[in-house]
Amino acid sequence: MLQKFDPRNAQLMIYVGNELLPRDQAKVSVFDSVVQGGDAIWEGLRLYKDGVFMLDRHLDRLFDSAKAMHFSKIPTRVEIKKALKSTLEANKMSDEVHIRLTLTRGEKITSGMDPRLNTKGCCLIILPEYKPPVYDNQSGIKIVTSTIRRNSPNHLDSKIHHNNLINNILAKIQSNHAGADAALMLDVHGFASELNGTNIFMIKKGRIYKPFADACLPGITRGLIIEIAKELGIDCVEKNISLVELYTADHVFCTGTMGEITPIIEIDGRIIEAKEKNDILTRIKHSFEMKIPSHSVKVAEL
């Protein structure tokens, strides 16, 4: 499903560096590391009427990424929350908002790869947009398997939520040409890893299965689904999952902040028949919705 421009986003105020600027004036320098080398990290957050969902878990991952990237002069958790609060208040936003929070290594004194050229410290960007979940979570989505492999820890460790998204973008281009909604990406051994922008799960004979988080991003939503399965007393097993296992699963679904929980109804032309009677997926979706209030931080309390 191709996203469309939402007129509610015409007058956005966006946080860049230390300022809040109108949409058309919010820019980074051409000397910024994100322009020079995609040298940045990011988090996608969601604001519900109950507040910003699982904010501290997202910030934990952001700080882990910043440490792995050896960033310096990183804003503190308190500073990021303050910036987030002022941005959401400036936009008078209270629900149906996706927030793309990016932290770049900052501006360089001259173009080049060397992080020692970054003398000014990190640049924080907070881009909030009205954006309801991007997939049709009732009808589900169709996916195709991409020939582009997910990076292994040998190449670029997926534990860093970095801005080098070309790997995923190439896979997405393939799915666009195939008329699908998203691309399934395999790991270097040919096992399912994740979709180009979401994590994948399957359900078979009353059990949930998920790929090892070796080549996929360890998603915050993925983590919550694992907790929910435990609470519901449903086994959630981590294993290598082959394409044939996915084709013959009772249910397949993907998870992420952008789309929440989305059923996958077709993979490479094979229909996923939703055979299971005691519908685990419905129970998981229900528990997820029930958790939103208790797992969200109100904007006023940021």
Ligand X SMILES: Cc1ncc(COP(=O)(O)O)c(C=O)c1O
Instruction: Give the nearer residue to ligand X in terms of CB position, either 24 or 227.
Output: 227
Is residue 33 within 8 Å of residue 44, measured between CB atoms? no
Count of residues engaged in binding ligand X, rule: CB under 6 A: 14
Angle (nearest 5°) at CA 2 between 94 and 145:
115
Is residue 263 within 8 Å of residue 283, measured between CB atoms? no
To the nearest 10°, the Cα dihedral for 188, 190, 193, 197?
A: 80
Instruction: Give the nearer residue to ligand X in terms of CB position, either 17 or 256.
Output: 256
DSSP code for 74: P
Residue closest to ligand X, measured at CB: 219
Choices 11-19, 219-227, 275-283, 289-297; region in contact with ligand X by CB under 6 A: 219-227
Please report, as residue ranges, which positions from 155 to 184 form the binding site for ligand X (by CB under 6 A): 168
Among 39, 194, 214, 260, contact with ligand X (rule: CB under 6 A): 194
Contact between 199 and ligand X by CB under 6 A: the answer reads yes
What is the C-alpha to C-alpha distance for residues 4 and 142, in angstroms, rounded to an integer?
Answer: 19
What string marks each residue from 39 to 78 as x (binds ligand X by CB under 6 A) or -?
-----x----------------------------------
Instruction: Give the nearer residue to ligand X in terms of CB position, either 13 or 224.
Output: 224
DSSP code for 108: B
Among 33, 151, 221, 262, contact with ligand X (rule: CB under 6 A): 221
How far apart are CB 211 and ligand X at their closest, in Å? 11
How far apart are CB 297 and ligand X at their closest, in Å? 16
What is the C-alpha to C-alpha distance for residues 45 and 99, in angstroms, rounded to an integer?
Answer: 5
Contact between 222 and ligand X by CB under 6 A: the answer reads yes
Contact between 197 and ligand X by CB under 6 A: the answer reads yes
Among 198, 260, 262, 263, contact with ligand X (rule: CB under 6 A): 198
Bridge partners of 150, per DSSP, are: none
Residue 11: other Cβ atoms inside 10 A: 10
Q: Which two tokens stand for residue 253?
A: 């679904």
Helix (H) or strand (E) holding 144: strand 141-145
Q: Footprint of ligand X on this chain (CB under 6 A)?
A: 44, 168, 194, 197-199, 217, 219-222, 255-257
